[in-house]
Structure formats: C-alpha cells, structure tokens
Chains A and B, each alone.
Chain A
Amino acid sequence: MTALRFDPIRLPGECEELRKEVRAFLAEEIAAGTFNPYQPLREDADAREFSRRVGERGWIGMTWPKKYGGHERTFLERYVVTEEMRVANAPVRRFFVADRQSGPILLRYAPEHIKMDILPRICRGELCFAIGMSEPNSGSDLFAAKTRATKTDGGWLINGSKIWTTSAHMADYMIAIFRTSPSTKENRRHGLTQFLVNMKSPGIKVNPIGQITGQKEFNEVVFTDAFVPDDHQLGEIDGAWKQATSELAYERSGPERFLETYYVLTELVRAVGPDPDTRSAEGIGRLVAQLHAMRRMSVSVAGMLHAGKEPVVEASIVKDVGTVWEQQLPHRVRDLAAFVEEDAGNRETLENQLTFAIRTAPKLTIQGGTTEVLRGIIARGLGLR
C-alpha cells in the first residue's frame, strides 16, 4: 500500500490578489443584477453575457497556452477563481464544463487547426460544452456504450443516443464517446472512440428532461446519421478508455466537489445571529471544521496537480468525502434551523435555500463518478483490487 499524502499546501500570494479581483468583479455583477446569489433556482438570462465578461477577465482557460487564448496561469490561481465563483453562486455552467474538462481534452488530443479555432473561443466565454458519456443502458458502466460511429467518406456517421447530458440544450459542442468497434474478450473497454461533435450539425435532436429541483439541465440527445468529420476524432481509435480515465481525474477534486450546497451554511450563520445557543454553536462549529478540513485536502490535491503529479487516488478521496459532505450539509443545517428564532430576518431565504439544496443533494454523489465507482478506485489504490 502506498501512503496517502495530503501536504499542507498554501496558496501563494498572487492568488490572494486574484481573489480580491474576483470578489470585486462578482460584487459588481451582483449589484448590476446579473445574478442573485441567494436564488439558486433561476433562469440565468444574462449567463451568456456573464460568460463573456468572465472570459474578458482572463478567467477561462487560465492554465492553457497563450497561443490558444489561454493565460498560462497556475492550477492554484484557477482554484481560487473556481471557489470564489461557487461560493457566490455565480452562473458558471455555460463555461465551466469547457474550462474544466473539454478544453483540456482538446488541448491534448485535437489537431492543431481545431485547437486554434475552438480554444480561443472557449477562453472568450463564447462556447458552451456538454459531455456525452451516459446512455440509456450505460451510466457508471461507461464501457457498455452502444451509440455507434460508423466510418463514412471523410468522417463518421453517428447513430444512437446519449442521456442525462447536462447543458446539451444550450451547448455549441459535445465531447462524446461512441462505439467504433465491438469490445474484445481480452478487453471489454476496447472499441470506444472520443469525438468532438458540433451540436448544430444536422441529425442531432435534443430533448429536455426535467429534474426534481425544477431545473431543466438534463437532456436526451438523439443522433440520426449525424456527420462528424475525420478531424473531429480525438485520440486513439478504439482507445477512448485510456483517455476517459485520465479525463475524469480533472473533475474529481476541485472546490465544486464540496461547495455546491455551501450557501445554506452561510444562511444558517446569518439566521442564528452573533450569539447562538450551545447546540447551534456546536453544530456550526463542526460543519465549519469539516469544511475547513475538506478544503485543505482539496487544496493539497490542487498543489499536487500544480507540481505535475497525477494524484488519482487522493483526488478520488476528495470527491468521495467532499460530495458525501455537501450532500449531508443541507440536512445538518435543517437540524439546526429548527432552533432558529421565528423572527430571524432571513428565515424565508434559509427555508427556500434548504428546499432547493435538499432536492439537489441526491445528485451530488452520482454526477461525475458515483460514490461506488470512486470507492472502487480508492480500493484499487489501496491494493485491494
């Protein structure tokens, strides 16, 4: 068994300057009415413009090479921007997937002319990406995917469907895996290939799926002879499994993996006021201690990524512990909200937020790798599999 290490990484001074800039920017946006940090369930009518302004600030594709529109800043600087956006409840969905996952995949696998075309537009906040992984009979079991890419003149024809595809209804592009060959006896993960799909292509139909939060981020995406040109194939033919596993590492350990329901904690502290009773104080103290420990683990992994390491097990641990924590958080806050005075000024806000957070909670341990999948990865890292 290799020892797990979570060294006490501190964010360097330049990160704190950046943090001030991000906070000032977000305060301006809130003041201008772009979004309401207290209202998570909202139509972000201005989200497209917000994305452009974030891009103008240089906060999308921060770590990417300048020649692709990136800013060659550090993982740790990106970490600060991400956590400040999350805590402010900013409408990041439109650009965040591209920033976190799709861009890095293109950087690694796309041909030069595609990179030169698409990456600068991501950095300017102009493009929204979706991820085409799950299918009706293939969720956590990624390698059961059946949607086919069949070779044709100059490219591939796609037939089948993807499901639970977040943001597909507004996405410009999707990065998806499709079946190009059957799996083999020796390797059941063989036969899938990764592609960049222009969502405006003919033969793609997006059907929205309502979620229990009242949001409509999920979609079914149906492909009927949708054409994808040869130069949109990413990486090795039939070898997507090698790419998909490292790709998931990008999204495991960031601040978005424990801050998704953070707003209920802030609101609880507001509701109990400056002099809480013992039970409320103890409850808040424990939650803050857990949050702090969680963040210190997550920053430690960011530090390892920054140093060029690949902390797959550590990142999985952060996501496992972090998502279970953010899932439980609204329930613990609800326990304590029972003792909040009836006349607390923000009682209604707190209750509305709790309703939304409790409805959101179940998805947190499913999206981007379920708890069960993560614990399997951790067990492998411990030498048990």
Chain B
Amino acid sequence: MADAENIVVATAEKIFADLADPQTINHDKDGRWAAPLWQALSEAGLPLAWVAEELGGAGTDLADGFAVINSAGRFALPVPLAETLLAGWLLQQGGIASPEGAMTIAPARPKDRITLNADGTLSGRVRGVPFAKSASHIAVVADGGDGVSIALVEAAGLRIDAGLSLANDPSDTVTFDKVAPVTIKRAPAGFDQDRLMLMGGVVRGLQIAGALDQLLEISVRYAGERIAFEKPIGKFQAVQHNLAKLAGESAAASAAATSAADAIARTDVFDDAIFLEAAAAKIRCAEAAEKGAAIAHQVHGAIGFTTEHILHRFALRALAWRDDFGSESHWAVALGQRVAARGADELWPLVASR
C-alpha cells in the first residue's frame, strides 16, 4: 500500500526509519527513543492527519492515513499513532476539535459501554483501552439520553488502571465515574459504537498486514543466513513451503485490509458491502496473524523466542492487535448473522459487489 510518491507516507516512513528502528527500540531499556519519535510525528502533523484543518488537524485524506497506519505496522510502532488518528477521526464525526498530544479511544471492545447520564456526565468501565495511560485525552462514544454521543474527555480526570496487551503495549482499564467531558456532541445520524469498532478493526487489520509483511521479510532473510546441516535452511523444501504459506497469509491480510481501507476512503455510506469489507478485514487479518506468526517463529527457531531478537515485536503485536475493537470471532458472528438475514441467494451478489 505504501506509495513512495506519496509525500505523507514518505514523511512517515522516513520518521519511522530514523527514529523507530525496531532493533534500536528493542535494545533501549530506558525508553529514550520515545520522546523524539513522538515529537517528530507531531511536528509532521501525523497524529492529527485525519482531522480537518479548521478542527486543528492536517486534513489528510483517509487513504493516506490508512497507508501511514499500514506502514506503522511494518515497524511494529509502539506509540499511539493509530490510536490518536482514530480519536481525531472520531471527534471529527461529532464536529469536535482535536487537542494536541496523544489520544486514544473508548470503548475499545464491542461489548463495553459508556453511558451519558441525565446530568451530562459520563459513566462506565471499559477495558483494553490502548495507551490510555499515555494519552492526554480520550475520544469517547457514549450511549444514553436519546441517542449516541461523541465526547472529548481529559484523561487526568479518569481512573486508569494500567494493563498490558499480549505484546506488552499499554492496554488499560478506564473507569468513567460521572466524569464531565470537555466537549460532547450528538453523533451524526447512523453513527454508533459499531461504526467505531469497524473503523478500529480496519486500522488493526492494516497494522497486522504491515507486521506480516515484515515477518515474511525477516523470516526469508533469516532462512538465507542460518546454516544447518551444512546449508542455509531456506534451501530445504520444507522451510521453503512454510515460507510460501506465510507469503500467502501476508498476501491475504494485505488484500483484505487494503480493500477495506480503500472502500471506507471512497464512501460515506455505511451499508452491508462496507460492513462486509470491514468485518472481513478484521477476521481474515486476525486469522493470518495466527498462521503467519507461527510460521515466522518456526523458521527462526529458539533465537526468535528470545527478548533480544526483534521477531516478537512483530509477531506478538500481530497477535495482540486481533484483540482490539472486536476479535475475529465477534465479527464472524456478526457477519454470519447479516449474511443469513439477507438470504442464500443474496450472498454472491454481496461478495461480487466488491
């Protein structure tokens, strides 16, 4: 997806290459890499790329932002760039301006709820919120009153219990106890929490696809370097076939995720076809993460199981990203129900419409 001629993507990739090298980050026990990286991203306007200029952002196309996220996956980027992009996008749906600094979004799981109370405050306990501890603000979807609202909330006024994702990235529990939002607006007609979950799912799909791309590349490279039985292990047919399968999973994830991103970038309508694209992206990318990460580990052997090696940075994130904004099982049930409700003879027309 990354397009070298695209200035936004090229800028992001240069910053990632200069300041987010996975090897450097892996060896930096003090976290000195983090501040310069975030500063460079902010100066380039990337965290708020999806926010219109009049609302404080860079006004970048959805397509470019998606490409940046795909690329961030390729670097297993451990800062809340995707989350801040999503938060800015969410706030923009409510016409709310974005503040500076890192943001995240809540809820991040389909069954968690935040409620708007009669007095205008927010209540609810939501788990698995990525990078909540390091965010200055949280963009929220809340139910209550007579519909759906979008709100900007200051993180300082929230109880945040730190947690870790499968990949050891922050994944926190956030408690809203009658919290007054900074701003709250009615969501546009048709917008609901599911819409945020699907958008988040596509974002995670793109990150997984990027990580798989990298898993393939480092596994192929390693197979060419590692000598066993007097030849590079990549010369063994069994290893070659495993890597070919990894290429297939990487390809499927990439096709599903970039297709969904492209579909969302092209339309404001949210119909069954867009639902199919978004849900299928999350489902297929998550399945690919499972199969692909297993092969990448198998090829690397014991060295890939160590903290010193960078493999886990990609493999564990690809697996962890499955859990956010609805797992593949969650979306498979929802997609299956929708397909069944449409009826057998409407399945092919739906698939063929993409």
Interface set of A (CB-CB < 8 Å, partner B): 1, 3-8, 10, 19, 83-84, 87, 262, 265-267, 269-270, 272-276, 278, 280-286, 288-297, 300, 313-314, 317-318, 320-321, 372, 374-376, 378-379, 381-385
Which stretch in B7-15, B173-181, B192-200, B278-286 binds the other chain? B278-286
Q: Which of B289-324 contact A (CB under 8 A)?
A: none
By beta carbon, the residue of chain B nearest A381 is B247
Please indicate the chain A residues that have their CB under 8 angstroms from the CB of B340 in the complex.
269, 272-276, 280-281, 284
Assess the A269–B220 pair: CB atoms within 8 A: no
Q: What would be 29 A-B contacts, judged by CB atoms less than 8 Å apart? A: A1-B216, A4-B213, A7-B258, A8-B261, A84-B352, A87-B352, A265-B347, A266-B347, A272-B340, A273-B340, A274-B341, A274-B343, A275-B337, A275-B340, A281-B332, A284-B335, A285-B279, A288-B280, A289-B279, A289-B280, A289-B328, A289-B332, A295-B351, A297-B255, A375-B240, A375-B245, A379-B244, A383-B224, A385-B240
Assess the A285–B256 pair: CB atoms within 8 A: no
Please indicate the chain A residues that have their CB under 8 angstroms from the CB of B207 in the complex.
none
Assess the A293–B252 pair: CB atoms within 8 A: yes
Assess the B248–A288 pair: CB atoms within 8 A: no
Partner of A270, one of B213, B263, B281, B344: B344
Please indicate the chain B residues that have their CB under 8 angstroms from the CB of A378 in the complex.
243-244, 247-248
Interface centre among B213, B216, B234, B337, by most A CB within 10 Å? Answer: B337
By beta carbon, the residue of chain B nearest A314 is B251
Assess the A293–B280 pair: CB atoms within 8 A: yes
Give B209 Cβ to nearest chain A Cβ, in Å.
10
Cβ-based interface call for B329 (8 A): yes
- Decide: A266 near B348, CB < 8 A? Known: A4-B247, A8-B258, A292-B280: yes
Give B225 Cβ to nearest chain A Cβ, in Å.
12
Q: Categorize the interface residue count of chain B.
A: 35 or more
Assess the A4–B254 pair: CB atoms within 8 A: yes
Assess the A296–B336 pair: CB atoms within 8 A: no
Give A333 Cβ to nearest chain B Cβ, in Å.
12
Please indicate the chain B residues that have their CB under 8 angstroms from the CB of A288 in the complex.
276, 280, 335-336, 339, 347, 351
A291–B332 CA distance with the chains assembled, in angstroms: 13
Given A284-B335, A285-B283, A379-B243, 6 new contacts (CB under 8 A): A4-B254, A262-B348, A274-B340, A276-B340, A379-B241, A385-B235
A296–B259 CA distance with the chains assembled, in angstroms: 7
By beta carbon, the residue of chain B nearest A268 is B344
Give A274 Cβ to nearest chain B Cβ, in Å.
5
Give B61 Cβ to nearest chain A Cβ, in Å.
14
Cβ-based interface call for B115 (8 A): no
Assess the B248–A266 pair: CB atoms within 8 A: no
Give B196 Cβ to nearest chain A Cβ, in Å.
20
Please indicate the chain A residues that have their CB under 8 angstroms from the CB of B213 in the complex.
3-4
Cβ-based interface call for B223 (8 A): yes
Cβ-based interface call for B83 (8 A): no
Please indicate the chain B residues that have their CB under 8 angstroms from the CB of A289 in the complex.
256, 279-280, 283-284, 328, 331-332, 335
A276–B334 CA distance with the chains assembled, in angstroms: 11
Assess the A320–B224 pair: CB atoms within 8 A: no
Assess the A321–B248 pair: CB atoms within 8 A: yes
By beta carbon, the residue of chain A nearest B256 is A293
- Decide: A320 near B244, CB < 8 A? Known: A6-B251, A292-B256, A293-B284: yes
